[in-house]
Chain A
Amino acid sequence: MLQATKLTKSYGEIEALKGLDMTVEGGDIYCLLGANGAGKTTTISLFLNFIRPDGGTATVCGLDVTEQPLETKKLLAYIPEQVMLYGNLTALENLRYFSQLGGHDYSQEEYRDFLRRVGLEEEAVDRRVKTYSKGMRQKVGVAIALAKQARALLLDEPTAGLDPKASNEFSELLLKLKSDGAAILMATHDLFRAKETGTRIGIMKEGRLVDELSTGEVSHADVEKIYLQHMHAGGHYAQEGAGSA
């Protein structure tokens, strides 16, 4: 569904991605782990065609995102760290606008239903979203993805800063989307959620994918251990990192 082949991207002198190869299949929740600057957001931006790759290809359902950006964006949904909406519109109006941009149109009731399914309180639906908490906005973001009937989801640290309950609710929604057969690529720092919700975990470091795990085969402790090993290996802290791990 989502496939990166030898994907490279540099920002001036800095090489953000150094030949990334990865695949996310339908029904997968692929969690990208890695330090800030490892290339997670760059990967997602490349899939969205927000930036152009210097080399390699990113495809969605077999379509190259640079050659058919509009076609691939019909298949994609994007939930950033902060779902930003039009503050002076209500949740329903925001949902309707973004759905229409995606080429869908539903009845008033169907829109309400989407918002109900993501667990937005009934009374909030017709309130302007500038009064919303982050958790509420993330829910609207998921509703937008649901309404778009996206085949692939790109999530960039969507649960950062959410309280545990909201974070848990968000994970529940991801599992629902997964069961519908969507391919989900999520950048995150939350090792616990990654193991809990994800089906696969990719660890990125300095623009490379250094390890891939299936969450079914490892424990929480293993995930943390492997992650830290990779973080300490190589680079300036190679020696002491290897010693302490």
Chain B
Amino acid sequence: MKRIIISHETRQLFRSGAFRALLLLVAGALAFAAFSGQRSIDRQVDGAMAATAFEDAQRAKMRADTEAYEARLAAQGGKYEFAGARHAPGAGPPQGTNAGVVGAQTAKYLTLPPTGLASFAVGQSDIQLNYVPVSMNPTHTTTNNLELENPLNLMTGSFDIAFVLIFLLPIFILAISYDLLSSEKERGTLAMILAHPISLKELLASKIIARAGVLVASILGLGLVALFAVGTNLDSADTWARFSLWMAATLLYSMFWFAMAVMVNVYGRNSAANGIALAGTWLALVVVLPTLVSLLATTIYPAPSRMELTVAARDAQTDAEKTYMARLDEYYYDHLEFIPEGDERATDFLTVAMANRNAIEKAVRPLYDEFQGQLNRQESLVQRFQFVSPAIMMQLALNEVSGTSADRYEHFLNQAYDFHARWGEYFSVKFLQRDPLKPADYDQFPAFEYQEEPFGTVLMRLVPSLLGMIVLLTGALLIPFLRLRRYQVATS
């Protein structure tokens, strides 16, 4: 019985030009979103690669110098010596032997590898770059120069698959089901159908199954196409696990909107009223509530502006430089005879500069921690308030699934900070001990390998969003289920 209605409904859908046009539109939007998401991820990956290549070349050159120096010593004899920092090239040991110079002048780029599904939801990754430079400079400079993107782009977010799913998919679903019962009632076919041994519940369920079937097949099909087109690591189980979760989240979200259409329909109003009610629901849940939650987060936990952070860093630097100049001037004034020659003085400069960096780091650190702390508090407030709107839950779930969530980024940053400390210590100790870097030492530099979170952690973070959607969906299904018996087939 139900099969008859399902196939009838499916045929009716495909006979409608509006439906075919809508389907095409969604497919087109998804294709464009996949392309746009991929471009955004590619830009990052390319950026990371270019930056890494540049820095690696710098270090390779320094290493080549030390190799040449070592070879020259082997041929001519002499001691392998430490070179003082200097700006003009000269005779003697190359700059590559000075750990302070290598550590300060070259940076190590750490990359957060994108997951296989990264292009599906760009998330915040356009403002939180997936590669950060680590050098002996203070920590805050690591994440400082990230907002390179067009601000308008940052404001509107990127046109990725998550955007299409969250904003456009509900419109598509509502467009094909806002008049689920009302159109049959208005056309007069509802009475014709219900004069047959079909219950209203069966009819509704079959109509939804027909629509959801078409939709799920399309999404699954288009999702797979997108995965093969823009996904990466297709041979990894992680990618497929993520894709399954992506599909599950998309299904839950879609079913919620179908349930909303059913709910509005069982109240028995006409199609126009249903359309308006559902458009209002969409506006409230997808646009208004997420904006309010975000507003709430930034109002309760306002982040100090980046500008403030930058100004504070400058102030600290200026202060340090001022005291450094004063101290140095004073020192040389008193001990004119100690004015070191060339190299020696420059070495002192580097030492003091390194000390200054420590001072700056100390001065800026509280502000930086406050900045990061506020961002984290904003994030956790959004996490707590996600349950007011399926759109927020969906966004968080998709970011999580795509590996572009704030939590994964923080996990990466923490590793980056640890590495920053290791990197700085390695070079500063060698420098202070005036321990010359040998070519072989270049292989001993601290190495960074991103440790991916266990998949269980990702799943645990997904639970609230997915569970929230399940609860919301159940509620949205229960109301029409209870209300259905009061539905008036005949009005008189």
- Interface of A with B (CB < 8 Å)? 11, 16, 41-42, 45, 48, 50-51, 69-71, 73-74, 76-78, 80, 82-88, 97-98, 100-103, 144, 148, 154
Report the separation of the CA atoms of residues A82 and B189 in the bound assembly, to the nearest whole angstrom. 10
Given A42-B492, A84-B187, A86-B12, does the pair A98, B192 have CB atoms closer than 8 Å? Answer: yes
Could you jot down 11 A-B contacts, CB within 8 Å?
A: A48-B191, A70-B197, A70-B199, A73-B195, A73-B196, A76-B195, A80-B192, A84-B188, A87-B187, A88-B15, A97-B4
Chain B residues 181-200 with CB under 8 Å of chain A are 187-189, 191-199
B225 interface contact, C-beta 8 A: no
CB-defined contacts of A41 to chain B, threshold 8 Å? 490, 492
CB-defined contacts of B198 to chain A, threshold 8 Å? 70, 73, 101
Minimal beta-carbon separation of A83 from chain B (angstroms): 7
Q: Which residue of A lies closest to B193 (CB)?
A: A101
- Interface of B with A (CB < 8 Å)? 1, 4-5, 8, 12, 15, 187-189, 191-199, 488-490, 492
Report yes or no: B191 in contact with A78, Cβ–Cβ below 8 A: yes
Minimal beta-carbon separation of A54 from chain B (angstroms): 14
Report yes or no: A50 in contact with B4, Cβ–Cβ below 8 A: no
Q: Which residue of B lies closest to A46 (CB)?
A: B490
CB-defined contacts of A101 to chain B, threshold 8 Å? 1, 4-5, 193, 196-198
Report yes or no: A85 in contact with B192, Cβ–Cβ below 8 A: yes
Minimal beta-carbon separation of B190 from chain A (angstroms): 9
List 6 A-B pairs, minimum CB-CB distance, nearest first.
A84-B188, A78-B195, A50-B489, A101-B196, A50-B490, A70-B197
Report yes or no: B197 in contact with A103, Cβ–Cβ below 8 A: yes
CB-defined contacts of B197 to chain A, threshold 8 Å? 69-71, 73-74, 101-103
CB-defined contacts of B193 to chain A, threshold 8 Å? 98, 101
CB-defined contacts of A83 to chain B, threshold 8 Å? 192
Minimal beta-carbon separation of A24 from chain B (angstroms): 17
CB-defined contacts of A100 to chain B, threshold 8 Å? 4
Q: Which residue of B lies closest to A48 (CB)?
A: B195
Interface-central residue, B193, B197, B488, by most chain A CB under 10 Å? B197
Partner of B196, one of A11, A88, A102: A102
Q: Which residue of B lies closest to A9 (CB)?
A: B492
Q: Which residue of A lies closest to B203 (CB)?
A: A101
Given A84-B188, A88-B12, does the pair A98, B196 have CB atoms closer than 8 Å? Answer: yes
Minimal beta-carbon separation of A175 from chain B (angstroms): 22
Report the separation of the CA atoms of residues A69 and B4 in the bound assembly, to the nearest whole angstrom. 20
Report yes or no: A51 in contact with B199, Cβ–Cβ below 8 A: no
Minimal beta-carbon separation of B207 from chain A (angstroms): 13
Q: Which residue of B lies closest to A70 (CB)?
A: B197
Report the separation of the CA atoms of residues A14 and B34 in the bound assembly, to the nearest whole angstrom. 60
CB-defined contacts of B492 to chain A, threshold 8 Å? 11, 16, 41-42, 45
Minimal beta-carbon separation of A157 from chain B (angstroms): 13
Report yes or no: A51 in contact with B189, Cβ–Cβ below 8 A: no
Report the separation of the CA atoms of residues A85 and B489 in the bound assembly, to the nearest whole angstrom. 16
Given A69-B199, A78-B195, does the pair A45, B490 have CB atoms closer than 8 Å? Answer: yes
CB-defined contacts of A82 to chain B, threshold 8 Å? 188
Report yes or no: B192 in contact with A84, Cβ–Cβ below 8 A: yes
Q: Which residue of B lies closest to A101 (CB)?
A: B196
CB-defined contacts of A98 to chain B, threshold 8 Å? 192-193, 196
Partner of A80, one of B12, B188, B196: B188
Report yes or no: A97 in contact with B8, Cβ–Cβ below 8 A: yes
Report yes or no: A103 in contact with B1, Cβ–Cβ below 8 A: yes
CB-defined contacts of A84 to chain B, threshold 8 Å? 187-189, 191-192
Interface-central residue, B191, B194, B195, B488, by most chain A CB under 10 Å? B195
Given contacts A45-B492, A82-B188, A101-B193, 20 further A-B contacts (CB under 8 A): A42-B492, A45-B489, A45-B490, A48-B191, A48-B194, A48-B195, A48-B490, A51-B488, A69-B197, A70-B198, A71-B197, A73-B198, A78-B191, A78-B192, A84-B187, A84-B192, A85-B189, A88-B15, A98-B196, A103-B197
CB-defined contacts of A148 to chain B, threshold 8 Å? 196
CB-defined contacts of B488 to chain A, threshold 8 Å? 50-51
Report yes or no: B489 in contact with A51, Cβ–Cβ below 8 A: yes
Minimal beta-carbon separation of A42 from chain B (angstroms): 6
Q: Which residue of B lies closest to A71 (CB)?
A: B197
Report the separation of the CA atoms of residues A41 and B191 in the bound assembly, to the nearest whole angstrom. 13
Interface-central residue, A82, A85, A97, A154, by most chain B CB under 10 Å? A97
Report the separation of the CA atoms of residues A100 and B196 in the bound assembly, to the nearest whole angstrom. 9
Q: Which residue of B lies closest to A148 (CB)?
A: B196
CB-defined contacts of B4 to chain A, threshold 8 Å? 97, 100-101
CB-defined contacts of A69 to chain B, threshold 8 Å? 197, 199
Minimal beta-carbon separation of B342 from chain A (angstroms): 92
CB-defined contacts of A11 to chain B, threshold 8 Å? 492
Q: Which residue of B lies closest to A68 (CB)?
A: B197
Report the separation of the CA atoms of residues A70 and B196 in the bound assembly, to the nearest whole angstrom. 8
Partner of B191, one of A50, A74, A102: A50
Report the separation of the CA atoms of residues A100 and B192 in the bound assembly, to the nearest whole angstrom. 13
Report yes or no: B191 in contact with A80, Cβ–Cβ below 8 A: yes
CB-defined contacts of A48 to chain B, threshold 8 Å? 191, 194-195, 489-490
Report the separation of the CA atoms of residues A82 and B197 in the bound assembly, to the nearest whole angstrom. 20
CB-defined contacts of B188 to chain A, threshold 8 Å? 80, 82, 84
Q: Which residue of B lies closest to A41 (CB)?
A: B492
Q: Which residue of B lies closest to A45 (CB)?
A: B490
Report the separation of the CA atoms of residues A20 and B21 in the bound assembly, to the nearest whole angstrom. 52
CB-defined contacts of A70 to chain B, threshold 8 Å? 197-199
Report the separation of the CA atoms of residues A86 and B184 in the bound assembly, to the nearest whole angstrom. 9
Report the separation of the CA atoms of residues A231 and B457 in the bound assembly, to the nearest whole angstrom. 79
Q: Which residue of A lies closest to B194 (CB)?
A: A50
Report the separation of the CA atoms of residues A70 and B193 in the bound assembly, to the nearest whole angstrom. 12
Report the separation of the CA atoms of residues A144 and B195 in the bound assembly, to the nearest whole angstrom. 11
Report the separation of the CA atoms of residues A154 and B4 in the bound assembly, to the nearest whole angstrom. 24
Report the separation of the CA atoms of residues A154 and B192 in the bound assembly, to the nearest whole angstrom. 12
Report the separation of the CA atoms of residues A42 and B158 in the bound assembly, to the nearest whole angstrom. 57
Report the separation of the CA atoms of residues A42 and B15 in the bound assembly, to the nearest whole angstrom. 36
Partner of A86, one of B5, B189, B489: B189
CB-defined contacts of B8 to chain A, threshold 8 Å? 97
Report the separation of the CA atoms of residues A232 and B166 in the bound assembly, to the nearest whole angstrom. 65
Minimal beta-carbon separation of A87 from chain B (angstroms): 8
Q: Which residue of B lies closest to A37 (CB)?
A: B492
Minimal beta-carbon separation of A219 from chain B (angstroms): 33
Q: Which residue of B lies closest to A97 (CB)?
A: B8
Interface-central residue, A41, A74, A86, A103, by most chain B CB under 10 Å? A86
Q: Which residue of A lies closest to B5 (CB)?
A: A101
Report the separation of the CA atoms of residues A78 and B192 in the bound assembly, to the nearest whole angstrom. 7
CB-defined contacts of B191 to chain A, threshold 8 Å? 48, 50, 78, 80, 84
